[in-house]
Structure 1
Amino acid sequence: MALMILAHPYFDVSVANKTIIQELQKQDLDLEIRDIHHLYPDYQIDVAAEQEALLRHDTIILQYPMFWFSMPAILKYWFDSVFTYQFAYGSKGDKLKNKKLLPSLTVGQVEGNFYDGEHFLIDDFLRSIQKSAEYAQMEYLKPICLFGVSPVEGNTKEEVQTKAAKHSQKLAEIIRGL
């Protein structure tokens, strides 16, 4: 069973992330979705509930929009609050050992803007998530990114919804294959 941590502070007006979630919910997937911004609008995260959710699942998917080349603040705060000493790390902190962590993010800009000639810069932006997963003895899976979803880039709502539905299909295939 997979757990999706949805971290979008503007989910109500989202097109891409909302479409991804709606499409996933139409499928017969063994998937629990926790919308942490909805659950904790005051940032008072129920650490025990979040840790219990992590323990119930073998795969954790982080679904979020890239904000300023990083994760939304609530997702960072979720990591800081939930990945605690003796739970995620420390001499007895092996509760997440061998669980899989998959970042799934939406990015407003087009993919080509994330190459510097040699490197795929998304990998650099996601390094903190990768290292956090490794520190918690998790298996970090290759991220899946949906690029070019900003209306500023000239995309219509329908184009973004079409791209997001395809992204959702990729996610569903990964979930089924785990």
Structure 2
Amino acid sequence: MTFYRQFPDLRRRIAAELGTPTGDIPARRWPDIWQFVGGPVVEVAQYLLAFRGYAVPISGVFDAATVAAVQSWQASQGLPVDVDATLTGPTWETLAPELDKHACGLPVQAVQYILNHKGYLDVTVTGEYDHPTMKAVQDIQRLHGLTPNGKVSTETWCAIVGGIVRQSFRKH
């Protein structure tokens, strides 16, 4: 968790050193995951695919069922279907629902799982948007320069799963 907390500052310093204007930084850059990748971010995607009605194992292994589900989701959303089932930015953005304190179920479990994996050990995977979950989401939001309102917006999802949001590059 200590190293994770340094990423936004490190990115800001590198962008400043390179002279990159904030406006040149994409609004969001989601993590690249595809059929040959595994791990916690794949598991988050599987929670979200299961929430959207796909029968995928929530295992962190990008198996054939996950490939088929990603490609089916992309087709159903009118997105280009990637041969390797890459979760593109538009795929993530249509897959991840916005959440607030009244949310429950698989998307909340996905948030709780990845927060716990990132070191928020007081967050447990219950599917209920409880106080420890909200506090951890707010901490992530502050860390990435987002409004710490506890709502899991598209920007917050991106930051939680390890993507980059433009707001991270503003000094706070």
TM-score, length basis structure 1: 0.26
Q: Which has the higher helix share?
A: 2
